[in-house]
Every structure is written in structure tokens, then in C-alpha cells.
Structure 1
Amino acid sequence: MVSPFEAGMFSGPWRSLLSLREDVHVEETAEGDLVLHGRWGDVLLRQPDPVVRGVLNRMSLGPISLSNAVSGHGGGAHGAAAVLRVLDRIEPLVVRTVGRSDGRLLVSVAPIAPAARLRPEPLPADRPIRLSRFAMVRTDGSGYILESPLSLHRATLHHPGAVRMIGMLARATTTAEALGDPPDDRLLVDALVLLTAAGLVVRGEHAAAPAEKATFAEDTDPALAAWSPLDLMFHTRSTLGRHDHDFGATYPLGTGRSPEPVVRPAADGPVIALDRPAWEEILGVDPPLSVAVEGRRTARRYTGEPVSLRELGELLYRTARVRSLVLRQDGEEPSASSRPYPSGGSSYELEIYMTTTGGRDLPGGVYHYDPLGHRLEVVSTDPAIVAELLENARTAADASGTAAVLLTMTARFRRVSWKYRGPAYALMLKNLGALTQTLYLVATAMGLSASPLGAGDVDTSARALGVDWRVESSLGELLIGRPGTSSGDTGRLPVNDAAWAERAAAYLGVKRGG
């Protein structure tokens, strides 16, 4: 069996250069062993061949020509074979670079997961090829990076010629069409072979004329049909296993304090104090948890009847108030808080804004909920802003009638991202789900109905709330109101004790006098 490192490594005017990942450290032990320390653990090479030792030390310094390195350390066929065996074993630590013998580099492909493997194959001149529709090109400030959530490798485009080559692959083409037949530059062909092996460039299922008629497996794969490139990239980069980015509590802004305080500072201007419900009163009327869970429904029809200020105070107090503050060891400002809903890392980055047309005891407007002072801060009283937010929400929720209140949940992003890298945004979405469910269940227990919005308008909400969307932006919205007449659960097949929901609705109607 031919080693994947063997073909083309030792001949030709071009060079396939090899190096170790930048985070790999080569250590020589007193016993004469080599230890490769890498991101995914250590690799122990016991008493390696002197040629292997020399080649790996050279590879730790940057890209090298394998043939030159082997001959430079006095290695013949035996030494070359020993090097190839080791390279096969440590393949997830090896970066491959296509470059000329004069030192000009074109493309490098680096493994980004311990399961990464490359099996380069020749590209026939008439075989259709294309940049994967999941591939994304970005810059890290010093060069172009090509990556895909479907690939366990990342490519760096070192030379403008590589960028131009990628530009030719926006649509299906062939090697001959893109590079000439025979190719103008053999180096580009070898780069294409490497990118194709990495899955960043994909092959057509068969030769087709014209190439635009070719079919590609990723376009017909049912497992990929429901994924957009952005969603799949977000999924893979906010979880472990398919990337090599720093992940978890890495404190990317340093190990100091969060730039966002535990509780947003109180705003200057008018405020409205909210009622604080009494524990005994709530226990006297609240249904059991199972009733709230079974009785929860997404409302699509509302009566338009306002929700009282007392009810709003109860809803927010029970779901989002600050219950306690965690003080720093230095006794200065608090470092965390406790609230009724869970939040990853006790971040509590979510803020709640309330938009309402108003009622007898609350003027119409946009308000911010202060969870520490348990009060509403006036953000805007402009009727046009209120009408725009509520109409957008009603349309997004496909609701009829007018809900009494729109709750907009924003995130102070840096409250999470100062500490976490990788899962930060995904963590905020999970926190949003926890808060939304808590609001849902408490609203149900209070005889109110809720309807979440599938998506809000980031620009509109930022303008209405007076925030910089890059620092604090809406993540979710929830309509709260009094339920109108339901059309019933027509067309549904009852299974698994569906009558529980009916019994819960009846219980809630009696308990709350509905």
C-alpha cells in the first residue's frame, strides 16, 4: 500500500512541502525517545531512526522538502521508509504545503481535528470540479483562509495565484478549463489536488459536457439538504470535534473582569415601580407545575385587553428579577447574580424590554426592565415606534388581534464573550430558551398567553431601543396577552394522554376565574 505522503514527494520541479502544526512541540528525552506535544495529546516515538529525528526537528521549524530533508540527514531508502511510516502515524499533526523549489508558497492544508486524513488522487482534465458550496473564504488579517464545516482541514492561500484559482471555481468547471490543457502551471494542479482531498473543492459525480450540467454529491445528499452553510458552520464551531479553535472558558479578553457589569447600570430618567407579589398569595392561586406545562399553549389570537401593571410586575418578578448578588473576594462590585431562570456560567447577559400600547395604569411606550430595582425604565414614548414594534411582532407571530405586551430579549454579548470562546453565542441562545420557557410557564400559571416570534428585526429593535446592535442586540421576542377564542385543535390525532391538556385548561380556568 502506497503511503499518502509518498506519491510525488521526491521528484518534479514543484515541491510538496511538509511541516508540523505550529502548536506541536518536539521534545527529546534523556532515553533517546521523541515526544510530540500537540493539541490532542502526546505522541511517543521510541528510539526513532536518526533520519526521522532530524526530519521531525526540521519540520517543527517550518515547511521543508521531504526529499531534501531525508538526503540531508544521510537517509537512503531505509531512512525514507522510516520517515513515511512515522508521517502516516502522526498525519493529524502534519501540514502540507504546495510550493516551488525557489521557496514560493501557494497553498497549505492543515488538519484541524485528530481524525483528519488526506488521500490525494489525480484530477482528470475533464472531471468537473467546483468549490464546495459549504466552503467559506475569510481573512485573518494576514492572508486568506479557506474552510468548510464538512472538512477536517483548513487551507491557507499564500499567493494571489491561489486566490485567482479559487475564483475560477465559483461554478462547475474542469481542470482543463480552469488551468489550461496542458496546465499553464503544474503548481496550481497540485494545489487543486490537495484542496480536493481536503473536501474544500468537490468533484462531479462523472464527466459532463458542459461542466455546468455535472452533479455533485453534496447537492443531492439528503443529510445536507436542510443545512445552510452558515448554520452548519455555526453548529460545528460552537461544539467540539471538527475544529481546532480555542474553546470554552479561555478568557479571550484577558483574565480580568467582564467589560459588562452583572446588572446594567440604572438609566437616568423616569421610572415606574412594579408591584412585588407575596409568596403566600402566589401559592394560594398557582396551579401545580404539571398543569402549567400541560396548559401551555402558543396563542395566535388575542382579545386586545390590556395586562395590568400589577400582572406585569408579578410576571417579571417571578421570572427575571435578581434574587441575589455574588460578591467578589475584594468586596467591591459583584461578579455574578442569581435569578429564577438558569444561565450558563451565571452570565445573565439577557435584558428584557417591554413594548405596550398602554392601559389604565401604564402609559404606552417602550420600557426596560431593571431586574435589580424591579422597575420599568422609560426608553421611548413615541407612538410610531410602539406601533411599528407591535405590528412587526404581530405579523411575525401570525397573530390576530392585538397582544397587550411585546417582550424583547436582548443580549449584552460581552457579558459572555469576554470569558467563553467558541460556544459563546450558542450559550446565549440556550439562555434565551431557558428564559422564554420560564416566561411561558409563569404566564400560563397567571392565566395569560404567549407567542414567541420566529425572528425579529435587529435593525428596527436597535433603533427603537436605542442600543448599538454590535454590543447589545435582540435575540428573541415574546408576545404576552389575554387569549382570544381558539379555533381548537382541529386536524390533530390525540395520542399519549392528550386529554391532560384539556384537564389543565379546565383547571386553569377555574383557578384563575377564566
Structure 2
Amino acid sequence: MDWFVLPDLWRARGLEVQARLRPEAVVESAEDGELTVHHWWGSARLTGVTAVTASALRQLSEEWTDSHDLIAGMPALAGEQGSTAALAELLWACQEFAFLIELRLMAGERSLLTVKPASYAAKLPALGPDPTCRRLSKFAFLHRGEEELELASATSTHRVLLQDEETSRLVTSLVTGPVLHPGPGRHAEAICHLLASIGMLEGTETEGGTGMGEALLGVAEFPDLLLHQHSRFGSHDGGFGAEFPFLGSLDPSPAVPRSAAENMITLPVPDEHEVRARDPLLSDAIEGRCSLREYSDEPLTLEELGEFLFRCLRIRGLYGPIPEANMPYQASDRPFPSGGGVHDLELYALVTRVTGLEPGAYRYSAAQHALEWIAVSSADFDAVLQGALRASSAASAPPVLFKIVSRFERMAWKYRSIGYATTLKNVGGLY
């Protein structure tokens, strides 16, 4: 936590470190020494806290505070005799609430950057050794935030708002490195040290606070880690879960998409009693499961295809909207589960050998238990089929290739952050 407790070090470089709690944090203290802080991820409580520490934390919740002034003012607040204990308690409290403390690096009246904790696991940055390589981590990325250029990383618990043109130029120059010398900017050295302390530079990723080891970071890919980070509560400070961000401004897409009725081919419905009589035990089916890459020359029958789709994908019923149950949209009931009953998945069948069915592309209408013929070129049909053969190392084309498509707008209408991850879980349920 050197960036917070060593203000004189930065003052010697013409810099000032200011701190505050995240804007949404609310500090509540009781006479018995109990302190509660309400924040983005919930609330946290400390007991046995003195009025001096409570006052300092309230100050941090109300305004940006020069860390030098905050620490220097502790003796006056606590009295000279109790200053050491008061300072120790304040630093302990700041460690406990490190995931709420923002740091702003100032050069006079000019804000160079702001470091914001973006995870419940965030710690106060610690000053480490001089970074040997001044190049951005391959897991870091720049993007437009709400108002400023923002630096974030799939392996860091912090994000950085770049609030100064010189700082922005320095950080973007670190993309193409390695930059062995940080450049002519007066404060470049301190900025590089700060970026290294929160895991934004190459070789410092384990300082980011996510708990990822070097073995994982050596083989992991950026998109995988970013999805992992943003689909878990507490690992980022964006929206999360069923927030319905478009409720009232955009109607949800229908639970059942429109179908072209004139192109429908009604599928056979299996006899329930006959199916139950010949079905294997679940344990037998599980133990006998295997992956096959060779297919019989015998075509499937329309009855077999119909039974497979009926048992796996049909819509058994519709329900909703039920606003009082936090479900302001229509959902469907199917044989496989889906997050929130949204059922974003649709199935397309590329048919090569099915008795009673012309080869071609079809969409399965789960509501009508029917196939809708889709006009596609032979070149497109063959390209999709060949892509599947290469991916699976199959020697010959299967009688039917199923393609799963997500109507992702249904997921995005309801969920923040976890929409795509939930879609992948839905695919697993369907599989």
C-alpha cells in the first residue's frame, strides 16, 4: 500500500496522491465502535473502530483527500500520545476496505490518472522493484470509458482512467514496446511503477491480484480470461445478473420466433408408451456413451429425426410475463434447462441422408414440432458441412448436422455480464 502511505516519496517527484472511497460507498458508524460501509458489492462491517478512524473514512467517502494531509492530520485528531495507534488503525481499516479506495495521481492541478478498484479482491497498490520491461501486458486493453480513455486488464483487479494527454500518449506507447526507457515525460517513471504495481505491464500480471499463477498465464488466451473475469460476481464492477437494462425502452424479443408456415414439414410425434417400453436405463445410457466419427451408410428415418427433436427441443408450453416474479417477459418450457427460462437457442438441421426428407437446410420450429425449409446455396451448404468435418476429424458427412444458434438479444435484454456465459451453459444443457 506504498502509494497510499508514502506521500512524501511522490511529493519529491512533484506529484500528489489523492484518495477517496468509491462514489457509491456510504460510511455508517455507531457509538459502540461498529463501522459499516455499504458499497457496490454489498456491505462490510468492522467492530472496535475508534471515532478517529471513522472520521477519516467518512472524509474519504465525501471528497478526494491528499494522503499526505490525511496521515499528517492523525496526531491532531488522536492526540500526540495516541497518534501511532490511530495511524495503525487507519491503515488497517484502509487495507480492509482496499477494494473501495480510488487513487488519483496529481501533478499540481492536473490529474494524470485515476486508479479504480474493479474487483472485490482488489488490494492497495504496493511499490515493487523497477519494472524490467515497460510494455503493456498482453492481457491489458484500452477502450473508451464513459468519459475518458480507460486501461483495463483481464488479469488485474483495477482499471485506470487516463485523464491527461501526456499520460495517454505514454500508455499507448507501451503497446508496441518493449520500452526500456519510459520517455521524456516528467512523470513517466512514476506512472510505469504504478502500472506495474497493479499488474498492467508485461511480467507483472501476477501482481494484479486475481490469484492467477504463472503457469496459467503462460498458456491462457486473453478472450478466455476476460470472459472468466466479467462473468463472475465480485471480479468486476460492471452490471451483473438479471438487471433488465432495456426494460421500458425496448420490448423483449418473442419467446417463439416467427416461422414461414408455407414451408413447414410436420414431423412425426413418438408414441410415449412405446418409447418408455424400449428406453434404456439412465445409468446404461451414461455408461455406454461414446463419441463416434464414423456413420452408417443407412439413412436416418423421418421418424427417428422427429423423435430426437421432440424429446430434446420441443416447446412444451409458454408462460409469463409475470412481473411480480421479476419475469417481465414470456418464457418457454422445454426438455432442457435455460437460464431464466429465456431459451435463446434455436436449432438448424443440415440434412444429407434422411428417408422422406429432401437434402438441404432446415430450421426446427420447436413450437410446432416441424421443419422449416431454408433456401441456401449449395456452396454455403457444403462450406458449413466441410467446416464441421474438419473440426471433428470425421471421415464422412453425418446424416444430419445440427447447428445451434443463439437469439442472444433475449439474453442481453435480461442479463448484464453473464449473458454470454449463460448462453454457453444453455448449450451444455442442450447437449
Query: What is the TM-score with the length of structure 2 in the denominator?
Result: 0.84
* Alignment counterpart, residue 141 of structure 2, candidates 124, 136, 140: 136
Query: Is 1:367 matched up with 2:366?
Result: no
RMSD over aligned Cα atoms? 3.4
Residues 359 and 397 of structure 1, relative CA distance in 2, 3 Å threshold: same
Which string of whole-angstrom CA distances, capped at 9 and with x for unpartnered residues, describes residues 420-470 of structure 1?
A: 22222111111111212xxxxxxxxxxxxxxxxxxxxxxxxxxxxxxxxxx
Q: Is the 8 A contact 1:303 1:402 kept in 2?
A: no
Q: CA deviation at 1:290?
A: 2.8
Residues 114 and 426 of structure 1, relative CA distance in 2, 3 Å threshold: closer
Q: Is the 8 A contact 1:364 1:381 kept in 2?
A: no
Query: What is the TM-score with the length of structure 1 in the denominator?
Result: 0.71
Q: CA deviation at 1:321?
A: 0.5
The residue aligned with 2:305 is 312
Which string of whole-angstrom CA distances, capped at 9 and with x for unpartnered residues, describes residues 472-496 of structure 1?
A: xxxxxxxxxxxxxxxxxxxxxxxxx
* Alignment counterpart, residue 118 of structure 1, candidates 121, 124, 146: 124
Q: Is the 8 A contact 2:152 2:158 kept in 1?
A: yes
Distance (whole Å) between structure 1 residues aligned to residue 349 and residue 291 of structure 2: 19
Q: Is the 8 A contact 1:127 1:174 kept in 2?
A: no
Distance (whole Å) between structure 1 residues aligned to residue 415 and residue 139 of structure 2: 26
Q: Which moved more, 1:165-174 or 1:233-242?
A: 165-174
Q: Which runs of 5+ in 1 are unaligned?
A: 206-217, 437-514
Q: 1:169 corresponds to which letter in structure 2?
A: L
Residues 45 and 191 of structure 1, relative CA distance in 2, 3 Å threshold: farther
* Alignment counterpart, residue 218 of structure 2, candidates 208, 225, 229: 225
Q: Pairwise mapping of residues 53-452 of structure 1 onto structure 2 (< 5 A)?
A: 55-68=56-69, 78=83, 81=87, 83-102=90-109, 104-121=110-127, 124=130, 127-170=132-175, 173=178, 177-180=181-184, 184-186=185-187, 188-203=188-203, 221-254=214-247, 259-328=252-321, 335-357=330-352, 359-380=354-375, 382-436=377-431
Which string of whole-angstrom CA distances, capped at 9 and with x for unpartnered residues, describes residues 223-277 of structure 1?
A: 3233101101111221234222232222222379861212212235411111111
Q: 1:42 corresponds to which letter in structure 2?
A: A
Distance (whole Å) between structure 2 residues aligned to residue 9 and residue 34 of structure 1: 29
Q: 1:66 corresponds to which letter in structure 2?
A: S
Distance (whole Å) between structure 1 residues aligned to residue 292 and residue 406 of structure 2: 25
Q: Is the 8 A contact 1:146 1:156 kept in 2?
A: yes
Q: CA deviation at 1:383?
A: 3.0
Distance (whole Å) between structure 2 residues aligned to residue 41 and residue 364 of structure 1: 60
Residues 127 and 291 of structure 1, relative CA distance in 2, 3 Å threshold: closer
Q: Which runs of 5+ in 2 are unaligned?
A: 206-210
**Greater share of residues in helix:** 2
Which string of whole-angstrom CA distances, capped at 9 and with x for unpartnered residues, describes residues 347-392 of structure 1?
A: 2110011112355521222111111111111221543332232222
Which string of whole-angstrom CA distances, capped at 9 and with x for unpartnered residues, describes residues 20-79 of structure 1?
A: 1122123465889764322341345767445x5665444334433233456789658739
Q: Is the 8 A contact 1:325 1:334 kept in 2?
A: no
Aligned pairs, number: 413
Distance (whole Å) between structure 2 residues aligned to residue 283 and residue 256 of structure 1: 47
Q: CA deviation at 1:122?
A: 5.8
Q: Secondary structure at the match of 2:276?
A: helix
Larger Rg: 1
The residue aligned with 2:43 is 41
Q: Is the 8 A contact 1:219 1:225 kept in 2?
A: no
